[in-house]
Amino acid sequence: MINPLKGMKDLTFDESQRFVHIITTASTIAKRYGYSYIETPLLEQTALFKRSVGESSDIVGKEMYQFIDKGKNDVCLRPEGTAGVVRAFVSAKLDRQPLKYKFYYYGPMFRYERPQKGRLREFHQFGCESFGEGSVYEDFTIISMIKDIFDALGIGYDIQINSLGCPACMPPYRDDLVAFLSNIKEELCDDCKRRIDTNPIRVLDCKNKSCQAKLTDSPKLLSQLCQECDSDFEKLKKLLDDADINYSIDTNLVRGLDYYSKSAFEFVSNEIGAQSAIAGGGRYDKLVEFLDGKPTPAVGYAIGIERIMELVTMPKVEREGIYLGAMSQEAIDMLFPIASRKRQEQKVTVEYAPKGLKAHLKSADRAGAKSIAIIGEDELKDGKIWVKDLETKEEKVITIKEF
């Protein structure tokens, strides 16, 4: 038996229904916010992710499905969605238009990691990217959209926000932080010691409690933001307050990807194991230029489908369609013209084997049909069909033509 690869999963029945429900709900809401669908390749040049996600990130450093294809191209299965959408945006030269573009997408992402709860090697994201809008109103609007989606899906969450600064205020802060961390280096965990050189900002969200204790007096970026970043962050908080959206400020919230600046936010759930982030995003005003486009402000987010899968409250399933069957072999063929006609407007299940009435009723019940129509011996004789509504239990015998 051939099983799926490690960290890859088939979705069927309840799970696939949940998947579809999540995608349709999110898509519907994204469209209301003015977003249109974009589909980009799953396979891209490795250079795209190195330049956008950043070589210092674990994603690029050790988690990519990277290989050389038959044309000797260095390629990767996409580990996240934003890079591809930005590349598509630049490839289509939309950066030369003085217009705003908003795209939503969904699909599989790939990261070569050890699977655990809420983390797969092939997983799915639903995401949105808004280009050309530098206003913090857009950051707020995007957070509202995610809220609408989770509310529609019946998912509970907490929102955490932070500001990551911009090229004007982040580098000086980073230097201050490195200086601070270097002083207490010996008291930090081994990972953090390493991070001081590789990615000092990451020390801030170390899960190690003793490290966290040492960080209470660390320099805070929020108090060193430049004037623009500071006023944008204040505005974002006010907008959220005015909209009655609850949030907490997490100064240690660091997005895992290098391209974020200014607003960063995360939606978390405490019901799904160690991987608590169910959506994350933020502003990335410099990424379009990094990928050879004209400077274009942008903001976006992604939702982890698998992480919210079991949190979703599904709409009640209603009985639907007709179950068609016959009790004798000679009547089976008569079912197909009926099925064909009925399928123009509703779901039809045809049972090809002749069975007793009881067996048919059981099958119809299991198929979730709303009604059952059977040609039995009696009906066969005078061109009729027996029809029963499985909910109201009303039944009648009518001519096939009439049905």
Give the one residue of 51, 87, 202, 262 binding RNA; rule: CB under 7 A.
202
Is residue 362 within the footprint of RNA (CB under 7 A)?
A: yes
Give the one residue of 88, 327, 348, 373 binding RNA; rule: CB under 7 A.
327
Give the one residue of 306, 322, 335, 349 binding RNA; rule: CB under 7 A.
306
Is residue 349 within the footprint of RNA (CB under 7 A)?
A: no
- Minimum distance, C-beta of residue 268 to RNA, in the bound complex (Å): 8
Is residue 388 within the footprint of RNA (CB under 7 A)?
A: yes
> 80 or 133: whose CB is closer to RNA?
80
- Minimum distance, C-beta of residue 394 to RNA, in the bound complex (Å): 9
Q: End-to-end distance of the chain based on CA atoms, in angstroms?
A: 46
Residue type at 73 in one-letter notation: N
> 94 or 150: whose CB is closer to RNA?
150
> Burial of 70 by CB count in 10 Å (0-12 exposed, 13-18 middle, 19+ buried)?
exposed
Which range, of 85-93, 154-162, 344-352, 359-367, touches RNA by CB under 7 A?
A: 359-367
> 94 or 250: whose CB is closer to RNA?
250
Residue 125: its H or E element = strand 122-131
Is residue 70 within the footprint of RNA (CB under 7 A)?
A: no
Which range, of 58-66, 99-107, 228-236, 335-343, touches RNA by CB under 7 A?
A: 58-66
- Nearest one of 44, 42, 78 to 59, comparing CA atoms: 78
Burial of 10-46, coded b for 16+ CB within 10 Å and e otherwise, reads eeeeeeeebbebbbebbbebbeebebeebebeeebeb
Residue type at 334 in one-letter notation: M
**Planar angle of CA 22, 27, 30, nearest 5 degrees:** 125
> 54 or 134: whose CB is closer to RNA?
54
Please name the residues in contact with 391: beta carbons below 8 A apart, sequence gap of 6 or more: 319, 370
Show contacts with RNA in window 123-162 (CB under 7 A): 123, 125
Question: Does residue 208 sit in helix, strand or coil?
Answer: coil
Pairing of strands 348-350, 101-110: unpaired
Pairing of strands 65-68, 74-77: antiparallel
Which range, of 34-42, 214-222, 227-235, 371-379, touches RNA by CB under 7 A?
A: 371-379
Is residue 185 within the footprint of RNA (CB under 7 A)?
A: no
- Nearest one of 314, 139, 357, 319 to 236, comparing CA atoms: 139
Give the one residue of 13, 72, 183, 207 binding RNA; rule: CB under 7 A.
207
Show contacts with RNA in window 96-115 (CB under 7 A): 111, 113-115
CA distance 26 to 104: 9
Residue ranges binding RNA (CB under 7 A): 3-7, 9, 57-59, 63, 80, 111, 113-120, 123, 125, 191, 195, 202, 205-208, 254-257, 266, 273-280, 302-304, 306-307, 319, 327, 356-359, 361-362, 364-366, 374, 376-379, 386, 388, 390-391, 393, 395, 397
